[in-house]
């Protein structure tokens, strides 16, 4: 070593996000093959698809399926170290590994349950129905944040729609159905829009910190709806009301296996998918949608082209609030037929996670929302299967926490880098 030379210590190669996930897949696969599979029952179980004569069954041995899934995860994980050669096949393998992980949870649940068979079609349908309010909340956030306004107040807007809509319903005819029920849905939508207007005034006109403004909206909704429940609903004894009726989509409801379960539902559930289709079209195919996206990316450039940034942001935030109010109506007027304090139960915050998971794109946001809905439905199904580990049943509190655990995993960065609109969260000042 010559005088003055610098001694450099060797560094370990830095793992990319993909290879880190690959290492996890390999580790998980080894655990499944050598630890989990030998401990599972050799008795066969069945997954059913559909009911009656149209049903289809898949009989399997839990230990064999576990070994197969474990080997597949090891293969997908090892492939990440050849990412340059395999390219998109690696990402496809990781995605397929995630699907196999979900299948593994179902297989293990069956193996640890005294139940010999379970029907997966209701689980799929329940995932969509539980994901519907999450999707509406995420769509509300997408409209707001695509225009450049952070919306932490989705939870409050949903709660306001649920509470104020049901109060209006109870005052009109005591919750007996009919036309007042549909009027109450409109009231819920307007209530969400009103709270969104408050958020817009504070964050756009007064340029208040948008996160603080959203928190204020949440706190106001909690206080107001609790007051209305105690002062209006309790004296009226309005604890049970007629909900929105089911409707059947012609022809589609006759599809074998899934038709009578998926295409026979209540109207707000179907409206969820319609609103996503409309939103995707408006944001990507219309001039006004381009303006919404432009003020969210570069409002100063949009202003120079004649776009009224303040007006467009107001419109987008209020539209999002109306959608959030509709999500609230789904709780009180379509599903439960009553209203309780904090009835939305954190759905608005899960919707924000779905919005980030979906990277502010309508199709991806919808898929992410249904993924969170599946997490909720899976927790319910495991509880119904009476799954036991070591002779002890899984605590119901743990199963209820499954969606929030999934939310933490997603927000911790398992989804890769999510880049929001360029100007989101930045108050806009008109040039003088």
pLDDT tens, position by position, 62-90: 999 999 999 999 999 999 888 788 877 88
- Domain 121-414 -> CATH class: mainly alpha
Taking the C-alpha atoms of residue 162 and residue 195, their distance in angstroms, rounded to an integer, is 13
CA distances from 61 to 110, 117, 404 (A): 10, 12, 31
What pLDDT is attached to residue 417? 64
Strand 388-389 relative to strand 247-248, pairing: unpaired
Q: Which of 321, 294, 108 is nearest to 218 (CA)?
A: 321
Taking the C-alpha atoms of residue 295 and residue 280, their distance in angstroms, rounded to an integer, is 17
What pLDDT is attached to residue 271? 96
What pLDDT is attached to residue 195? 97
What pLDDT is attached to residue 140? 97
427 contacts 367 by C-beta, under 8 angstroms: no
Taking the C-alpha atoms of residue 170 and residue 47, their distance in angstroms, rounded to an integer, is 43
- Helix/strand/coil (H, E, C) string of the chain? CCCCCCCCCCCCCCCCHHHHHHHHHHHHHHHHHHHHHHHCCCCCEEEEECCHHHCEEEEECHHHHHHHHHHHHHHHHHHHHHHHHHCHHHHHHHHHHHHHHHHHHHHHHHHCCCCCEEEHHHHHHHHHHHHHHHHHHHHHHHHHHHCCCCCCCHHHHHHHHHHHHHHHHHHHHCCCCCHHHHHHHHHHHHHHHHHHHHHHHHHHHCCCCHHHHHHHHHHHHHHHHHHHHHHHHHHHCCCCCCCCCCEECCCHHHCCCCHHHHCEECHHHHHHHHHHHHHHHHHHHCHHHHHHHHHHHCHHHHHHCCCCHHHHHHHHHHHHHHHHHHHHHHHHHHHHCCCCCCCCCCHHHHHHHHHHHCCCCHHHHHHHHHHHHHHHHHHHHHHHCCCEECCEECCHHHHHCHHHHHHHHHHHHHCCCCCCCCCCCCCCCCCC
Taking the C-alpha atoms of residue 321 and residue 191, their distance in angstroms, rounded to an integer, is 8
What pLDDT is attached to residue 98? 83
pTM of the full structure: 0.90
Taking the C-alpha atoms of residue 62 and residue 46, their distance in angstroms, rounded to an integer, is 10
What pLDDT is attached to residue 407? 67
CA distances from 127 to 32, 110, 185, 372 (A): 26, 18, 23, 8
The residue extents of the domains of the chain are 17-111, 121-414
191 contacts 325 by C-beta, under 8 angstroms: yes
Low-confidence ranges of the chain (pLDDT < 50): 414
Distance in angstroms between the alpha carbons of the first and the last residue of the chain = 65
Q: Which of 109, 107, 112, 117 is nearest to 70 (CA)?
A: 107
Contacts of 313 (CB under 8 A, 6+ apart): 147, 148, 149, 200, 204, 295, 428
What pLDDT is attached to residue 251? 86
Taking the C-alpha atoms of residue 106 and residue 120, their distance in angstroms, rounded to an integer, is 10
């Amino acid at each position: 070593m010559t005088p003055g030379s610098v001694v450099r210590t060797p560094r370990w190669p830095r793992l990319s996000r993909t290879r880190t996930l690959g290492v996890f897949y390999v580790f998980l696969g080894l655990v499944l093959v050598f630890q989990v599979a030998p401990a599972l029952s050799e008795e066969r179980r069945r997954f059913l698809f559909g009911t009656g004569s149209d049903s289809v069954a898949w009989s399997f041995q839990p230990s064999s399926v576990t070994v197969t899934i474990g080997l597949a995860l090891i293969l997908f994980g090892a492939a990440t170290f050849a990412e340059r050669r395999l390219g998109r096949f690696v990402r496809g393998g990781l995605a397929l590994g995630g699907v196999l992980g979900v299948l593994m949870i179902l297989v293990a649940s069956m193996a640890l349950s005294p139940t010999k068979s379970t029907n997966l079609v209701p689980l799929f349908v329940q995932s969509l129905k539980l994901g519907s309010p999450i999707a509406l909340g995420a769509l509300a956030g997408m409209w707001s944040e695509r225009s450049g306004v952070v919306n932490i107040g989705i939870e409050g807007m949903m709660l306001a729609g649920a509470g104020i809509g049901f109060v209006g319903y109870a005052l009109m005819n005591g919750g007996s159905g009919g036309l007042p029920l549909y009027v109450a849905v409109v009231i819920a939508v307007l209530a969400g829009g009103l709270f969104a207007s408050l958020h817009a005034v504070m964050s756009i006109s007064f340029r208040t910190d948008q996160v603080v403004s959203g928190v204020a909206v949440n706190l106001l909704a909690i206080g107001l709806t609790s007051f209305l429940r105690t002062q209006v609903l309790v004296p009226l004894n309005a604890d049970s009301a007629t909900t929105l009726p089911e409707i059947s989509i012609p022809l589609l409801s006759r599809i074998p296996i899934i038709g009578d379960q998926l295409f026979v539902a209540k109207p707000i559930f179907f409206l969820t998918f319609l609103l996503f289709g409309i939103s995707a079209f408006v944001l990507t195919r219309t001039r006004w949608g381009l303006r919404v996206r432009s003020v969210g990316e570069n409002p100063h450039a949009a202003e120079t082209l004649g776009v009224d940034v303040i007006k467009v942001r107001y419109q987008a935030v209020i539209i999002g609030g109306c959608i959030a109010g509709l999500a609230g109506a789904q709780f009180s007027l379509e599903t439960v037929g009553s209203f309780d304090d904090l009835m939305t139960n954190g759905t608005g915050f899960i919707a924000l996670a779905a919005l980030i998971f979906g990277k502010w794109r309508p199709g991806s946001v919808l898929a992410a929302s249904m993924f969170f809905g599946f997490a909720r439905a899976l927790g319910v199904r495991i509880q119904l299967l009476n799954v036991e580990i070591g002779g002890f049943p899984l605590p119901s509190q743990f199963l209820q926490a499954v969606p929030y655990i999934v939310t933490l995993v997603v927000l911790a960065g398992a989804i890769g880098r999510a880049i929001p609109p360029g100007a989101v969260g930045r108050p806009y000042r008109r040039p003088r």
